[in-house]
Chain A
């Protein structure tokens, strides 16, 4: 029963990795990384049951809570770059 869903998740991880490798923009790769994160959460919760050790769900919980910080960091990075370019341009003019 768990094998079907685990296999589906693994195949999807491979597809997401394909998107991460193909690009073409960096944001596609960030999207793929984020998808990879949610897929990992699902995979880990299912495997915890497959192993018969449901007390290991902490790991999936950790990813569910903090995986999106990476994407927020990307947004902040782009925002800083955009704002510093804007000030550079206004200083140059």
Chain B
């Protein structure tokens, strides 16, 4: 039983790690802001669910498992909200989704 739990949590953690990594690559390589938000937030939530589920399996029935569940719940609430707020801010500042920047672009460094 313990072995089975270990294998399951190993698999969840590894797949979660892969998702997180894909999100990172997406955020780095996608062509414009909105596609980057998409890549980052989508794989973010998936990676968080898988990794924290994997750690919960290791924690077993304890206070730590409840805390992890709370962390997961709050992450699932806050992370998409932050993405939404970010997209609203960018749109408000005049950054168009098609990639055509109309105004308020950051000056060249």
Chain A window 44-55, contacts with chain B (Cβ cutoff 8 Å), 1 for yes, 0 for no: 011011000011
Closest partner residue, chain A, to B9 (CB atom): A1
Instruction: Give residues of chain B (47-63) contacting chain A, Cβ–Cβ below 8 Å.
Output: 47-48, 51-52, 54-55, 58-59, 62-63
Q: Is the CB of B71 within 8 A of A74?
A: no
Find the B residue at minimum CB distance from A20.
Answer: B27
B72-90, CB under 8 A of A: which get 1 and which 0?
A: 0011001101110110111
Q: Is the CB of A25 within 8 A of B105?
A: yes
Tell me if B92 counts as interface (CB < 8 A to partner A). yes
The B interface is mostly helix, strand or loop, or mixed, namely helix
CB distance from B98 to the nearest CB of A (A): 14
Residues of A contacting B71 in the complex (Cβ-Cβ under 8 angstroms):
41, 45, 57, 60-61, 64
Number of interface residues of B (CB under 8 A): 54
C-alpha gap A22/B109 in the complex (Å): 11
Q: How far is the CB of B63 from chain A (nearest CB, A)?
A: 8
Contact string against A for B residues 24-57, beta-carbon threshold 8 Å, 1 for contact and 0 otherwise: 1101100001001100100010011001101100
Cα–Cα distance between A78 and B94 once the two chains are bound (Å): 10
Contacts of A1 in B (CB 8 A): 6, 9-10, 13
Q: Contacts of B25 on A, CB cut-off 8 Å?
A: 15
In the complex, what's the smallest C-beta–C-beta distance from A13 to chain B, in angstroms?
Answer: 8
Which residues of A approach B to under 8 Å, CB–CB? Answer: 1-2, 4-5, 7-9, 11-16, 18-19, 22-28, 30-32, 34-35, 37-39, 41-42, 45-46, 48-49, 54-55, 57-58, 60-61, 64-65, 67-68, 71-72, 74-75, 78-79, 81-82
